[in-house]
Amino acid sequence: MATPGNSLASFDKQALRELILRRALKRGEFVLASGKRSSYYLDCKQVTLHAQGALLVAQGIWSLLDPNRVDAVGGMSVGADPITAAVITWAALQGHELLGFLVRKEPKGHGTRRYLEGPVQPGQRCIILEDVITTGGSSLLAARRAQEFGLEVLGVVAIVDRQEGGREQIQQAGFPCQALLTVEELGVTLPDQES
């Protein structure tokens, strides 16, 4: 996914980490989308729908992409929608034309009746975007839907990897997977470390 010449210089990882800890990390008892129970929840929409957070996420994801190989970015609605908007806007500011797409959970009930929305065309190369990877299920579903549409999926990029096996599941399915941060880097206690 990344090109050797891509630099992380414009991405302030520490600033993103601090913003996630301040705005997105919730403590308590939660049931995740995967059905797992957890003592913490990462509500990354509190970051991706925040001006500074959207900018930091876009810069971080852009630093992992090879703009000469990627035609489009997108992922499962609703979590990936603000990420997609931020990344394609940042790409435009860098002088690159990058398309965005949204993957619906259910096909549109009227009009085109498609799972994918956006100006993408079959044969284009894409990266699947994700806010938080837990089991990898939503990323894999988005990747399958993109492939069914005719896109070539080059990989998955997430904001945070919860380090609960999702990255490995995505990679076993044949997609390179990267994250801007892990829960370990956030300093969050991992499930096998909880007492």
- Looking at the domain assignment, is residue 62 inside a domain? yes
HSE-up of residue 29 (Cα within 13 Å, Cβ side): 0
- Looking at the domain assignment, is residue 101 inside a domain? yes
Whole-number Å distance between alpha carbons of 133 and 163: 8
- In this prediction, residue 4 carries a pLDDT of 38
Domain holding 121, by residue range, is 13-184
What is the pTM for the complete model shown?
A: 0.90
- In this prediction, residue 194 carries a pLDDT of 43
- Looking at the domain assignment, is residue 167 inside a domain? yes
| Residue-wise pLDDT tens digits, 124-144 | 999 999 999 999 999 999 999
Has residue 193 got a pLDDT over 50? no
Count Cβ atoms below 10 Å from residue 77 Cβ, excluding itself: 15
Mean pLDDT within 111-124:
90
| Residue-wise pLDDT tens digits, 17-48 | 999 999 999 999 998 877 888 899 999 999 99
Count the domains in the chain. 1
Are the C-beta atoms of residues 113 and 143 closer than 8 Å to each other?
no
- Looking at the domain assignment, is residue 107 inside a domain? yes
Whole-number Å distance between alpha carbons of 136 and 169: 6
- Looking at the domain assignment, is residue 151 inside a domain? yes
Q: What is the CATH number of the domain that holds 77?
A: 3.40.50.2020
